[in-house]
Amino acid sequence: MSDVDADARDVAMMQRALALAAEAAAAGEVPVGAVVVDDTGRVIGEGRNTREGDRDPLGHAEILAIAAASRALGRWRLSGCTLYVTLEPCFMCAGALVNARVDRLVFGATDPKAGAVGSLADVCRDPRLNHRLVVDTGVLADDCGAVLKAFFKTRRQKAAVTPTGSPPSPPDDGPASA
């Protein structure tokens, strides 16, 4: 496969992850989406944030996509697979990527507040761990960041119009809790 084809596939898969992020936003969840692709380019797992709906702190897009991919392949080891996610993974998800032996991570927007793949730490490329991933960043980064910005802007506006008497929700101006 040429580099051009590989780049086109990265963009197509990130668009799919973005569609999942939009689905999350529509459900009132922080908009993050993830897709796992096997070594032939087949999508074998998808996920989007479900933390609010499932009341589950583990309900991150990457965790759900990894679990779905493992079910599809019938094994926990996701060697040969690539995970695409719209936002830089947190510590939990970066750890899951290492433990699942995913080969490659592609993410869109960086997360300076909670990202663990370059921002606060670099869990997926830590030479002390027994598995490292190839990491590519910035695919459709503007689009990935825009869905988050729009979501938090809307949420702040809703908080601002909360009737007097009930204090507005504490400000949450970024994807740190994504």
What residue ranges bind Zn ion (CB under 5 A)? 60, 90, 92-93
Minimum Å distance from CB 27 to Zn ion? 17
To Zn ion, the closest distance from the beta carbon of 161 in angstroms equals: 30
Annotated catalytic residue: which of 29, 46, 62, 88? 62
**3-state class of 108 per DSSP?**
strand
With a CB cutoff of 8 Å and minimum separation 6, the contacts of 118 are: 88, 110, 135, 137
Residue nearest to Zn ion (CB): 93
- The span from the CA of 117 to the CA of 94, in Å, is 7
Residues 6+ apart with CB under 8 A from 22: 31, 33, 147
Q: Closest CB to Zn ion among 53 and 168?
A: 53
Instruction: Give me the least distance between CB of 115 and Zn ion, in Å please.
Output: 9
Residue 23 or 159: which CB sits closer to Zn ion? Answer: 23
CB nearer to Zn ion: give 13 or 59. Answer: 59
141 vs 159, which CB is nearer to Zn ion? 141
Is 62 one of the annotated active-site residues of the chain?
yes
Cβ–Cβ under 8 Å, residues 46 and 20: yes
Angstrom distance (rounded) from CA 33 to CA 47: 6
Q: How far is the CB of 93 from Zn ion (least distance, A)?
A: 3
Residue among 126, 143, 130 at smallest CA distance from 32: 143
Active-site annotation, residues:
62
